[in-house]
């Protein structure tokens, strides 16, 4: 059984690579759980026009795009993608407008447009800028940095320094968890702009 799973995983990896080097497209049901494990890089997450996960490499060099590797595990209610890319990688990631999102970033920069659903986002180092949409949509919010700063302007709070954290409760149904070991967190709403 384990050998079959390893073979299916490897086959999925090869098919994704042959489809279009450095890019990936996968159907994802709305309101499902989506996990993204991202190597260091510069990422922008935004709503997709359809119920799909689309990763578009911004790397212009075709040799570098061929070095991008995807690991996939997808079911009807949950999908997981692991992205391993060369240094200085940049990508745009489109996801369904409503999805429960779990992101683990090795390091770098992540900018996220407003996406409805639970969000659990962590990075070892770097800058996370997250458009939270409507702050009243959240039941619980917690953000923390070991070293760095938090700008939680969407929730009318900002902190900087060592061992900083921010927490809020509201009337909504979603949960937001954001952590960076070393770096910056910005929680904003484009509604206020």
Is 84 in the same domain as 129?
Answer: no
Q: Which residues constitute the domain of residue 66?
A: 1-104
pLDDT digits (tens, 9 = 90+) for 150-193: 999 999 877 766 679 999 999 999 999 999 999 999 999 987 55
Is 125 in the same domain as 191?
Answer: yes
Question: Of 60 and 171, which is predicted with more confidence?
Answer: 171
DSSP symbol at 88: T
pTM, two decimals, is 0.86
Is 98 in the same domain as 132?
Answer: no
Alpha-carbon distance values, 134 to 85, 139, 184 (Å): 33, 12, 21
Contact 33, 102 (CB under 8 A): yes
How many domains does the chain fold into?
2
DSSP symbol at 153: G
Is 97 in the same domain as 54?
Answer: yes
Q: What is the spatial distance between Cα 135 and Cα 150, in angstroms, rounded to a whole number?
A: 16
Mean pLDDT across 49-65: 87
Last residue of a domain, one of 69, 104, 139: 104
Report the pLDDT value the prediction gives residue 16, as an integer from 0 to 100: 40
Contact 66, 21 (CB under 8 A): yes
112 within some domain? no
165 within some domain? yes
Report the pLDDT value the prediction gives residue 91, as an integer from 0 to 100: 95
Report the pLDDT value the prediction gives residue 192, as an integer from 0 to 100: 58
Q: What is the spatial distance between Cα 40 and Cα 78, in angstroms, rounded to a whole number?
A: 24
Report the pLDDT value the prediction gives residue 20, as an integer from 0 to 100: 62
Report the pLDDT value the prediction gives residue 11, as an integer from 0 to 100: 33
Is 84 in the same domain as 15?
Answer: yes
Say which residues have a Cβ less than 8 Å from residue 108's Cβ, sequence separation at least 6. 40, 41, 42, 43, 123, 125, 126
Q: What is the spatial distance between Cα 89 and Cα 57, in angstroms, rounded to a whole number?
A: 8
Q: What is the spatial distance between Cα 189 and Cα 187, in angstroms, rounded to a whole number?
A: 7
């Amino acid at each position: 059984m384990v050998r079959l799973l390893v073979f299916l995983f490897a086959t999925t990896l090869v098919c994704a690579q042959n489809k279009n080097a450095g890019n990936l497209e996968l159907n994802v049901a709305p309101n499902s759980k989506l996990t993204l494990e991202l190597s260091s890089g510069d990422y922008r997450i935004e709503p997709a026009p359809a119920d799909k996960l689309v990763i578009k490499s911004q790397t212009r060099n075709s040799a570098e795009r061929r070095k991008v590797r995807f690991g996939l595990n997808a079911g009807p209610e949950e999908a997981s993608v692991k992205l391993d890319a060369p240094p200085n990688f940049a990508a745009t990631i489109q996801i369904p407008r409503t999805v429960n999102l779990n992101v683990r970033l090795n390091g770098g920069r992540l900018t996220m447009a407003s996406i409805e659903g639970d969000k659990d986002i962590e990075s070892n180092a770097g800058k996370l800028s997250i458009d939270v949409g409507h702050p009243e949509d959240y039941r619980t919010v917690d953000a923390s940095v070991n070293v760095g700063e938090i700008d939680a302007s969407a929730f009318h709070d900002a902190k900087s320094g060592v061992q900083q954290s921010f927490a809020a409760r509201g009337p909504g149904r979603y949960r937001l968890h954001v952590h960076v070991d070393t770096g910056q967190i910005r929680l904003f709403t484009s509604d206020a702009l």
